[in-house]
Structure 1
Amino acid sequence: MKPLPALELVTRFEEAEWLDPLAKSVRKVVLKVIKPRWARDVLHGVPIGHPVHPLAVQVPIGAWVSAGVLDAVPGGEKAARLLIGVGAATVIPSALAGFTDWSQLHPQQQRVGLVHAAANVTATGLYVASLVRRATGGEGSGKVLAYLGLATVGAGGFLGGHLSYRQAAGVNHSEEIPHRFPAGWHPLAPLAELPEGGLHKRDVAGIPLLVHREGGTVNVLSDVCSHLSGPLHEGKIKDDGGDPCVVCPWHRSTFSLRTGEVRSGPATSRQPLFETRVTGDLVEVCLPGADG
């Protein structure tokens, strides 16, 4: 079966460099409005371990789909108006979460995301216009505007699906590590070859690892940032209350070097943490649950 023609159009958006100046301006506004780090972490979804936006959009979309059904049923107009209002109100937190995530994406992802956002803003405007028309006695034209809004939301959802599943925005980019790394213990390097402190990269079984030594203890994480695959060994070390952390050089996601836990976003998934042991003078690593 051939892909839909619309897919080719969306693919063209990925390379639409003419969108970059607008994306840059919008990004500046987002970073200025949502400035506190804690607020960004909440909107990214750090506390719940995955992005907030896909969860938050269920409320307005669900309300608007339900309103569309009720508009087709005699006597359902009053309930439809209520649901349209609920959708218009709850689109705000979902939009804040979406723009926060979008501000920390690659240019190709931001281009598609910008069109996705434009579709959703247009849909919200159509629903607000629908409420206004209904309030002034134009029930029929209000329904037409609402159905146009629903169609536009559907187009925006198609773009959102492309952004998430074709362009891998918001997914865990380290999820594959346990399925590629072989089970059991494997040699990493002689302990004497691992300098104290600092961030170092070592490859084991074709998997890039981030290595940080604290005296006789060696901390090892996946070197691929779970946010967008940034090379963590090129980042910086940050002390977080006595816990050494690595800051990703691409979007400043911060992870504990001792546990792999996310200390600040945009990443929401922890880094795979490798167990280590010293046999003689050789440091060995093992990834719990590895089945590669």
Structure 2
Amino acid sequence: MRILTRLETARALDPVSDKLQDAVFAAPVPDGVRDLLHGTWLGHPLHPVLVQAPVGAFISAAVLDVLPGTRRAATALVAVGTAGAVPAMAAGLADWSQMTRDRRRVGLVHAAANLVAVGLYAGSLVARLRGRHTRGRALGFAGLSVAGLGAYLGGHLAYAQSGGANQAAPEIARIPEEWTVAGSLASLPDRKPAVRTVGDVAVLFYRDGDTVSAMIERCGHETAPLGEGDVIGEGPDACVVCPWHGSTFRLRDGAVRHGPAASDQPILPVRVQNGNVEVRQP
């Protein structure tokens, strides 16, 4: 754990990290493709879904490598895993580029380890295709070992550092369970975002006539203040745009319309009673 803490605070990695991040931002990739890689359409990050293909193939190949008469099958699995690593790495790079610096430091080493692992598997595939199966198996086992290190770092990034998690979701538990007055309906500006505190949680309200919606104000991607974002569209399709990274959420139901956020913004039940706007936990 001390090593991981040092890695999280290793500012020496920042020059490399920043240059790679700039390169990702500068890449001529359409927004639709970026949303695809972020998993906006899926409801959560795409990267952990895609890694199942290469990981499964590599582990299966390792099992077959210790069994007799399975050379062709093991070679095919190594080929599938090596090819499947490419889209998984692309999705991971897209997510990594939008993370905070402490997460990017761990993610950089995670990516480097996986890149080495894929290189070893590519060498394993070449050796197998040339009939050097002993060398191919050795490179495969080495690749699996390095991939295991990469997976450990990826787990730390996801679970210990909450990389890719919806940062706004824990706020729901801090909203009162009973209906709580957030303010009067008249105090909310029409068709403009307004932030009110419910309990000790900032909530973003949006009024369109007599209809009011409410969502957790801190962006689920990296906790940016959505109350400072612009509203685009109108009526039921009105959306708020995150002022930090551009994630776009539909105000009436929190649906994510544009990444890098991959999941919807948490919303709250709303009612108007005696001229007051009330909210509670879902």
Tell me if 1:40 matches 2:40.
Answer: no
Conservation of the 8 A alpha-carbon contact between 1:34 and 1:100: no
Deviation readout 1:172-214 (Å, 9 max, x if unpaired)? 2222233332223111112332233332221111121012222
Distance in structure 1 (CA, Å) of the matches to 2:59 and 2:81: 10
Distance in structure 2 (CA, Å) of the matches to 1:244 and 1:235: 12
Q: Percent of aligned positions with the same letter in both sequences?
A: 45
Bigger Cα displacement from structure 2, 274-283 vs 41-50: 274-283
Task: Flag the 1:149–1:18 CA change in 2: closer, same or farther, 3 A.
Answer: same
Tell me if 1:97 matches 2:118.
Answer: no
Bigger Cα displacement from structure 2, 217-226 vs 61-70: 217-226
Query: Match of 2:193?
Result: 199
Distance in structure 1 (CA, Å) of the matches to 2:194 and 2:236: 20
Letter of the aligned partner of 2:224 in structure 1? Answer: G
Displacement, 1:240? Answer: 6.6
Tell me if 1:52 matches 2:46.
Answer: yes
Query: Match of 1:211?
Result: 205
TM-score scaled by structure 2? 0.93
Deviation readout 1:113-138 (Å, 9 max, x if unpaired)? 11111111100111111122233343
In structure 2, the gaps of 5 or more residues are none
Task: Flag the 1:240–1:217 CA change in 2: closer, same or farther, 3 A.
Answer: closer
Query: Match of 1:153?
Result: 147
Structure 1 counterpart of 2:102, from 108, 117, 121: 108
After the TM superposition, which parts of structure 1 deviate over 6 Å for at least 4 consecutive aligned residues?
none
| Mapping 1:15-164, distance limit 5 Å | 15-33=9-27, 35-164=29-158
Displacement, 1:41? Answer: 1.1
- What secondary structure does 1:48 align onto? coil
Distance in structure 2 (CA, Å) of the matches to 1:84 and 1:170: 28
Bigger Cα displacement from structure 2, 152-161 vs 142-151: 142-151
In structure 1, the gaps of 5 or more residues are 1-6
Task: Flag the 1:268–1:158 CA change in 2: closer, same or farther, 3 A.
Answer: same
Letter of the aligned partner of 2:186 in structure 1? Answer: A
Query: Match of 1:246?
Result: 240
Query: Match of 1:3?
Result: none
Task: Flag the 1:241–1:148 CA change in 2: closer, same or farther, 3 A.
Answer: farther
